[in-house]
Each structure stands twice: as C-alpha cells, then as structure tokens.
Amino acid sequence: MKKIFDIQRKFRFTVYVLFITALLLIGVSIYVFTLSANLVERSQQKIYVLDNGKSLLVALREDISENRNAEARDHVKRFHELFFTMEPDKAYIENNIREALHLADRSAMKQYQTYKENNLYNQVIASDISMTLHTDSIRLDFSAYPYRFHFYGKQKIVRKSNITIRSLSTSGTLRNISRTDNNPHGFLMENWRIVDNKDLESIKRKVF
C-alpha cells in the first residue's frame, strides 16, 4: 500500500514538473516571438544606401504620407513666390521663372507667355519695379485625386512713385510625380489659373 502511495506521489510530482515546464516554455516562446516581431518591424523602418560605393550607411525610412500635406503647401508656396517675385534684373526674372516652370504643367507656361506678350517683364526692368509676394493661406483638399488647392496672397509692387498692394488668388490641382533636383517635393501643379488679381490700395512714395 505504501509503495502504491509513493508511486502516485511521484506521478503527481512528475505531472506538476511537466506542467510547470510547459508553462515556462510557452512563456519563453511568447517572449521570443514578441522580440522577433519588434526586430522585424524596426528593420523594415530602415533602408541601406551606399556612400560613393564604399561604406554602408543606415538611414531611417520615414512614412512619406505623414509629410505630404506640408510638402504640398510648400510646393504651392514656392511656385507662387518664384513666379511672382520680380526685380529689375532680366537674369533674376528668367532664373525664377525657369525654376517655377519645373513645378507646374503647361498652364503656368501659358500664363508666362501671356505676361511676356503683354510686355510685363520689360516694364519691370525698364521702370525699376520690384514685385514681392506674401502668402496669406493655402487650402488643400486631399479627399480626391488629383489634389485641389487654392492659394491666397498679396502682391507688393514698388514703383518710383507709389507702392501698390494687389490681391492674388489662384487655384489648380496637384499630381504626384517622381522627385528630382528641380522638383524635390514630387508634385506637379496642373490646370493652374489666376482667379483674382486686383488692386487693393496704392500708397504714394515720398520723392526726395
């Protein structure tokens, strides 16, 4: 009888040991799985680039969509600043226009040609006119593609005799394209048009 009791006790002890061992193995497995999943996720957030084909650098990969809104605003703002900022310097104007036209489609080229036909750039140079642009706001609609935008700003036109403030309102759409040195944000403005561009006030300058 005592021998039977000892056998049952050893059997229960063995079962307990096996049960505890199984729990420990399950716990370790869960820990290893969680650790491996975290390592895989972190490795997917990195890209590897060659530095002149010699050294391997690790660069963190960012989610582009998080910054797309800010990039779109800067793209629209940059185009308008380049297109509407002028000084009585032919090379300066041509350089600004050249950079601006990399950011938009033929609609911007058409407006440039209209200004050119109306002799705007020659007037700016001949009359020593300075034109600058202040951005008031940029409205973006990312609910549909291509993305619609509306630009609102004010032009300051400085002549020898007066300073004119003009409103500027434009609209258009943005299309995703590949990033280049001339277009770092990877957007192309399409169907761009001037909605409003009228005088708000004119201030006479003092002539000494």
Q: pLDDT at position 7, please?
A: 64
- Per 3-state DSSP, what percentage of the chain is helix, strand, and coil (rounded to 5)? 45, 35, 20
86: DSSP letter = B
Indicate whether 109 pLDDT > 50.
yes
Q: Residues spanned by CATH 3.10.450.230 within the chain?
A: 66-204
CA 8 – CA 158 distance, rounded (Å): 103
Most confidently modeled of 1-5, 7-11, 14-18, 56-60? 14-18
- Range in 33-47, 71-85, 92-106, 165-179 with the lowest mean pLDDT: 33-47
Selected residue with higher pLDDT from 11 and 102: 102
Question: Where do runs of H (alpha helix) occur along 54-190?
Answer: 64-84, 90-101, 106-117, 120-126
Predicted local distance difference test score (pLDDT) of residue 20: 80
Question: In which band, very low, low, confident or very high, does the pLDDT at 60 lie, cut at 50, 70 and 90?
Answer: very low
Burial classification of residue 124, based on how many CB atoms lie within 10 Å of its CB (0-12 exposed, 13-18 middle, 19 or more buried): buried
Q: List pLDDT tens digits, range 175-188.
A: 999 999 999 999 99
> What is the sign, positive or negative, of the torsion defined by CA atoms of 71, 114, 201, 82?
positive
Name the residue among 95, 96, 70, 71 with its Cα closest to residue 84: 96
CATH topology of domain 66-204: Nuclear Transport Factor 2; Chain: A, (3.10.450)
- Residue 57 pLDDT greater than 50, yes or no: no
Residue 196: exposure state from Cβ atoms within 10 A (0-12, 13-18, ≥19): exposed
